[in-house]
Structure formats: C-alpha cells, structure tokens
A and B are shown apart, each in its own frame.
Chain A
Amino acid sequence: MTFIKPLNHHPKLEKNNLGLTRRDYEGAVSSLCAGCGHDSISASIIESCFKLNIESYKVAKLSGIGCSSKAPAYFLDQSHGFNSVHGRMPSVATGASCANRDLLYLGVSGDGDSASIGIGQFIHAIRRQVNMVYIIENNGTYGLTKGQFSATNDLDSKNKYGDDNLFKPIDLATMAIQLGATYVARSFSGDREQLIPLIMGAMQHKGFALLDIISPCVTFNNHASSTKSYDYIREHNEAVGKTDFVPIGEEIKTSYEEGTSVEINLHDGSKLSLEKTDKNFDPCDAGKSLNYIREKEKEGKVLTGLLYVDSKSKDLIETLNMTETPLSQLHQDLICPGSDVLNLINKDLS
C-alpha cells in the first residue's frame, strides 16, 4: 500500500543551504493511523534534517519490526532504508556503521522492539558506543498485533480492554544512562519545539544517542486509564529545561543567570544550550541525572529533555582503531596480501 505524493512543489517553499525544501526530505505517505505520534516524530526528523542541511543520501535509516519500524519509509526518500527483523536493528546498524563510517545512522525502533525482543541488542549497541541516533517511538503497546502491553507500560496502567498491567516498566532512558550511552534524551512526540533541537543534537553527536520519545498510540493506548496517552503526558510532562541547537559559527545570544544554563559542545563544532528549570539538575553528571529522574518519577512526573550527555567519549569506530577510509571502499590492493605473502605463510606452515 504505497501512495505516490504529487511531485510539484509550491515555488516559494523555504529552502535550506543545500537549496532543498522540506518536501525534499519527505518519504512515502504514511500508512499509520491518523493522529499517530510516530507521524509527528517523522515530521520532526524531516525538520531536523532540513535545518541541519543534511544530504539524505548520506543517511542510512534502519528499523526493526512494528509500527515504529515502518516509520522510516515516511521520511528521507533519498536515503537507503533497512527494515530488518524484530528487535535486531541494533546489530544491523552496528555492522553497517563499521562498513561505512561516513554515513549518518538513524535507527528507529519501538518499545516492543527495544524493550522486549531486542533488549539484548539494544544494550550491546550502547555498550559498544555505535555511532548512531537511536529513536524509540515509545507508546507502551503492541499496536500491530492490536494492543497487548509492552514492557515500557507503567504498572497498573490499563489497556484498552480494561485489563491491568501487572508488571513494572523498563525505563529505557535511565537504563541507557547506566549502560554508558553518551547522549540520552526523553521527549514527547507532541512537543516539536522540544523534540527538534534534541534530534538535531543527537545527529551531530558522536557515539550512541538515544531519544526515548513518548509517542501515543491513538488506537490502542490513548484512553483515560493509560499513562502513555496524549492527555496524561501533557499533564505530567516536566521538562528539565529548554534546549536550543546552535549551529556551527553561531553564538549563543541569550545570557542566563549563573547556574541555570549549560552549554554543550558537539562533535562537529555546533552546540546545544540548555536553559534549566532547576539549578540542581546536571545533564553532564550521570549519577546526579539518574537521581533527579527518580525524584521526579516519585512526584508522578515524566521528566523530558536532554537527560545526559558526554560529548568526549570514544565511539566504536575509534575503539576498533579503524582506518579513515570506509571499509566498503578499500581497494583490493590494500586488503589482499597477494602471492608473495602467501608463499611466506606456506613456508611457516611447512
């Protein structure tokens, strides 16, 4: 079921530095339900790429299985996409990123994909510091199979049919901080203003960047007794502050009161600035951040925004001491040792 969008653009559409419009970053027409949070996230990804002047063909979109994993078809048409198997996107992304270090890897997953069937791969991709943006479109439910609980659903939150969820949730964001992810943010699909700078920051970050985005399922998990509904999140969402993405060469203009703002230098020279709502919060200290998230959790709040960042750590490519040239582009002369070497090896073996 793929609909073709009309090709003609309005001539006055805004263009970025590459001369591209937002339309150039779109994908196929979404087949998700009307009002699905995932479509808002796709729109924010498109906006982020547009603003960052990203060349689509230098992005690889990867996903697993589920509603969220369909989403990569709905943005960046000129990017290669890979819809892999359930819960296994992290391994495919790991191999892909080792093969060609020059591309931007954008993984899109869901709570079923990452918190259940693929939790092992999720954990190990973080542990290895795969250089990628990992978006979890978190709706607390299995949409494609019609509304079973997922492992991120809150205890006692009810499903659409009125059943209680009997188990405590897995918080992928705090888990990621504990495992050493170097960029961890939580956001809400309905808050584009917060989400877009966070995605842009993640894209410019070197190392594993996790975005746990609460993305309500309008069909199966948007009822009054759900803790992943639009209404619930709007009501309980508490942001750590306001994040701004500052492109390379631009200065942060606003000056904040001492201790209320943090400036983070990203790998490519761009910056993130965070205007904090609470002086005690420090996104550069994993331990403090975890405590702060827990405190807010006890207050019944869902803490969103940039939760943790470390912009200086090594990624997998560095750890493996890989050559600057993508492995996929190494010429045969460099990688095949040839007959003279083989004769020496033969000698050693005889």
Chain B
Amino acid sequence: MHNLKKIESISAVNDFVIKFANVNGSGSASANQMFAKAMFRMGIPVSPKNIFPSNIQGLPTWFEVRVNENGYLGSRGGVDIAVAMNPQSYSKDVEEISPGGFLLYDSTWKRNFNRDDITIIEIPFTQLCVDSFKNPKQRALFKNIAYVGALSALLEIEYKVLETLISEQFEKKPSLIEPNLKALNLGRDYVIENLSFPIGITVSRSDKLENKILITGNEAAGLGAVYGGATFCSWYPITPSTSLAEGFEKYAKKYRIEKETGKNLFASVQAEDELAAIGMAIGANWNGARAFTATSGPGISLMSEFLGLAYFAEIPLVLFNVQRGGPSTGMPTRTQQSDILACAYASHGDTKHILLFPSDPKECFDFAAKAFDLADQLQTPVFVVSDLDMGMNDWVCDKFEWDDKYTFNKGKVLSKDDLDEMENYGRYLDVDNDGICYRTYPGTHPEKGAFFTRGTSHDEFARYTEDGDINAATLTRLMKKFRTASEIVPEPVIEINGENSCGVIFYGSTSPAIQEAKDLLKEKGINIDLMQIRSFPFNLDVWEFIANHDRIYVVEQNRDSQMRTLIMAEGGISPEILRPLVHFTGDPIQASFIVNKISEREVNYKSHINAKKR
C-alpha cells in the first residue's frame, strides 16, 4: 500500500460508491451480490447496479454499488473504490476513480497506473488462490470471494454477516460452505497480515432498513402475478424481461402445486416469438383464465397487431414491458423509458391503452397484482411498464403486503344463472352506461351467451357490420370506457413543498434520483413540487397539479420527452408549461444531473421574472 501518506484520502462512513470491474462469465456476480447483501444485512441502504454487456462470456462487466446512510439510492456517479479484476478495462476503471479514492487490484501481475492522487491497494488474488486451491475452476472462481474477504477487513464489514450469507447461499450444497469461507478468509487474512486497515471509507451497522426487503422489480412483478391470480404465462426470451417470467415460474412452482396430485395450478409456455406469446395470453384470457406476457421494446413492436385486436374485441390482457435502450435492437442491456408512446397508442387505428408505472419493486408487486383486476374490470390490455434498472437490479423497498380479505375483481362476467334470467344478451351492449359491457366465457350456457369475437367492425351483438355509424358508436363507447378507466387506475403521488414552486413530473425508476434531487435543490433554495405519475389514462389529480403550476419539468429517460408529449396530447396542455428534462444515455439518471438542469433553468426563470417586475 504505497502513496498512502502523500494523498488526501476520501473519508466516509456508510456513504460511498464502489465499483467492481470483472470479466463477464467469470462468476463474479454472486460475490458482488454478497457484498451488496452484506450492506443490506448491516442495515445500511444500498443500491447495486449491474452494468453488463450483451454477451455471455469474455467482455467487461461492472457492478456498481452505492452505499448511502441517508437512503439516497439513485445512481450517484463517481467511484470511490474500484475493485479492478479485469485488465481489459484497467485504464477506464482507474481513470474513473475520484481523487482521494481507492483502487484494489490483483497484483499477481503488478502494474503502474499513473495516478498519484489515489490509494492503490495491491493484493495478489490469483497467486493466493493458486496456492490455496487445487482445482483450476475453483482457483478462478474463488478470487471473487477473496476480494469480498479483503473488503471485509478494509471497510470493516461484519465478518459474521458474510459468514451467514455464505452458509445461506450454499444451504443446499453444504460441501461448498467450507471452501467459500476459506476463500473469504484468504483475502481477509492477507489484509490483516500485510496491509494497514481499515481505509478511510468504512461501514457501520445502521437501522435504516426496518421493514425493507431487497429484490429485483422483475421477481417482484412475477410474484405479484402469482398473487394476482395469473394462471397462464406465455413469453419469449428477451432482455431485460426474461427474469420476470422466470420469477413467475419460480414462485408458481413453489406455491401453485396441487397437494393431492402434484399437478400444476398454472401453465407457463415459452412461445416461438412475441406474436405467439401475446396470442396465447389473449386466447387464455378470452377463455376466462388470468394470463399475461412479459416483453421489452422490440416485443411491443411485434405484439402491436394483437394489441389492437385485444383493444377492439375487448379482451383482458396483462402485459409487462420492461423497457431497455431503443430504438431497434438498441442497447439491450441498458435502461431507458422510451416506449411510453409506443405502449400508450400501440397498434393501428384509434387505440389507447391502460399503462401502469411502478417506481420500485414494491409497486411492481402491487401493480402486477392490480393489473389483473384492472384488465378484467376494463376488458382491455393493461401494460405494467417498468425498465431494466428497476427490473434487473436489486432495489431496497418496503416489504410486500397482502390483505387476505381482498377478493379478485373479475369484472362483468355473466354466469349461467345470469344468462337464464336474460332475454337478449349482447356482448357489446353498454347496459351500465360506463362503456364496459358484459362478457361470457365459452362453455357457460348451452343455449345463451355465445358470441363471435372478432377484430372486424361489429355491432352490439358482436355481428359483423360495415355500417359506419355503428362502428363510430363502438369507437366512441371505447373512449367512454377509457374515461371510466381514469377513475380506477392508480392515482399520482403528489408532494407540495412550497408556494410558487416549480413542478416536477416523473415516473418509474427515476424516483430515487428525484427524491435526492429534491433535497439537494432545497439546500440551494429551490423548492420543487413533485408528481409521480403512476398510470395512464391520467386522472383528475394529474390535471389539477398541472393547472396549479406555471412551469413543470418533466423528467424522463428518453430523447423525445414522450410522457410530456402524451400529457400535451391528452390534456391539450401548452408546450411552454411542460419543460423536457431528459436523459437517454442508457445509464440511470443521476440526482446531480437533475439538480444542474433545474437550478440552471430556475435561475433563468427568476431573473426573467425579476426583469419583468422592474
């Protein structure tokens, strides 16, 4: 450990960013996750982000962990500690380290890094593992656990916590506990015996995570689908949505097995493409099962024709869109919010769809379950729109809750008895004047209730018609239904922070960065009012918030400010009121970016107002 005395090292407790640089496919992921989970177990807010290439093996991959006592868990930028395990990316990894930061690298092969403003910590991980393990595979793999061991001494991570995590991880393969502990100690003991420790950055047990859990949005949504009563899932593999379908299967295999027979109380089909995936989900929903599909941007494009059918024929459907970087194949492993318009108006002709925007895994769970009720109630596709950042990274969120008294709302479905009492059933008769008509499932009644579901223009009795007035009436009724929807979809979360404040509209995974930006702006004397949009169609609260502000920044992760366009189009809002604040590099937006943009423009705004007053 040289240079230590010459430089002014960063000093912090429970507040830093550490970045692990690894080779894709080298087994680093579980070690990195163990590090993050150790922070969580010590009660310290933590947000790990996997920055990975679209590749199976060989390319550089990073795992960035922000640890923050105050609970600011958006991406921060800057690296305080780099654990550089990939010589391919050394130059970039070392360059990124903030002055006063720390570099930990595998000094089996020594390097000069030309940074005299950081502390370089040398540990010969490869050599240590070669000396301690015989199996070549283990020699490579255990380097990862060894650096976690080294960090435990350098940062004062509670050893007991790591020990527990290892025994939990290998609960089912207990023979692996011992070698993993050996690897952990290898790194830890090397630090204790050879280096000065702890370094300036340390962790200390905290109490900030009571009633919190650590989970990815995709797994949460998959679990939410189980709780929401989904019995059928059809999907086609696409990053970053695959783990959502897998999450559903994981929990279904655990909690959806018929006790007496061992048979499945669900079905999950990996389809041949996205068209088939949505087609199957539509077929199952038409037939009375709660069914969903999960996809990402390119899948939305492929599913668009079927989405129009489900909209027009009024078939419930739940669709999860875990957004990634577009357009086209784009950046499959990076995050964006760039499918807002593609989802809102998916398909040809006049179509509009229900969208839900969860902002953390808790809402992924809640909205997934709720989506099935909404789809059944409204007899139309409901999109749950999340993104890669929230979907694939572990996020700290509130514990999941479930009310056992709650019953599924299957919407307007007629039973055999209902039909027996009816004279004249029409599938598309708007009996209740809310735009929502009565469904029947196939196989309900021997003589009544059958109808022909079709994507062609149809009358109130589902008969084919080319009468323009009848078709126009159908389209108008669908708009009425859409207005009904605005009354039952999740309302926005609004936070008013002062008089004459500017408004900020946001949604989805930008939430942690926004919360941090709010506090940082307050320190600068700028109060912002917040509105987290949670659904489309927009309900009255959304329009009220907009009406109460003369300037509103719309923060989103796409180039074209798509949510702003949607708001302007749907509400006739003046473009001058809604100001785009966009970020679309594929990396999660940072609080500092939002702070800079808003403070810059607010200063301009205030000088403009003052000039007017003069």
Residues of A within 8 A of B (CB): 1-2, 28, 55-58, 60, 62, 72-73, 77-85, 88, 90-100, 102-103, 120-121, 123-124, 128, 320-324, 326-330, 332, 334-339, 341-342, 345-346, 349-350
Contact = CB atoms under 8 A, between A and B. Distances in A.
Contacts of A329: 288
Contacts of A55: 446
A88 B229 contact: no
Contacts of B446: 55-57, 78
B170 interface: no
A91 B275 contact: yes
Contacts of A324: 261, 263
B280 A327 contact: no
Interface of B: 40, 209, 212-215, 223, 226-229, 231-232, 234, 251, 255-256, 258, 261-267, 269, 271-273, 275-289, 291, 305-306, 309, 399-404, 407-408, 440-447, 450-456, 463-466
Given A73-B452, A96-B284, A327 B463 contact: no
Query: Residue among B286, B309, B464 with the most chain A CB within 10 A?
Result: B286
Contacts of A124: 271-272, 276
Nearest to B288: A328
Given A81-B452, A100-B288, 4 more contacts: A57-B442, A95-B282, A95-B284, A96-B286
Contacts, number: 229
B287 A95 contact: yes
B68 to A, nearest CB: 18
Contact of A103 (B264, B443, B451, B452): B443
A93 to B, nearest CB: 6
A338 B306 CA distance: 33
Contact of A323 (B214, B264, B273): B264
Given A100-B289, A339-B402, A83 B452 contact: yes
B265 A92 contact: no
A291 to B, nearest CB: 29
Nearest to A100: B287
A99 B232 contact: yes
A324 B281 CA distance: 20
B296 to A, nearest CB: 19
Contact of B450 (A77, A95, A346): A77
B263 A80 contact: no
A327 B291 CA distance: 10
A350 B212 contact: yes
Query: Residue among A88, A93, A121 with the most chain B CB within 10 A?
Result: A88
A307 B2 CA distance: 82
B415 to A, nearest CB: 12
A80 to B, nearest CB: 4
A339 B281 CA distance: 27
Contacts of B279: 84-85, 88, 90-92, 94-95, 121
Contact of A98 (B265, B269, B275, B443): B269
Contacts of B234: 91, 94-95
16 contacts: A57-B450, A58-B443, A78-B447, A80-B450, A83-B456, A92-B282, A96-B287, A99-B289, A320-B264, A322-B267, A324-B263, A327-B289, A328-B287, A336-B402, A337-B227, A338-B402
A92 B283 contact: yes
Contacts of B258: 323, 334
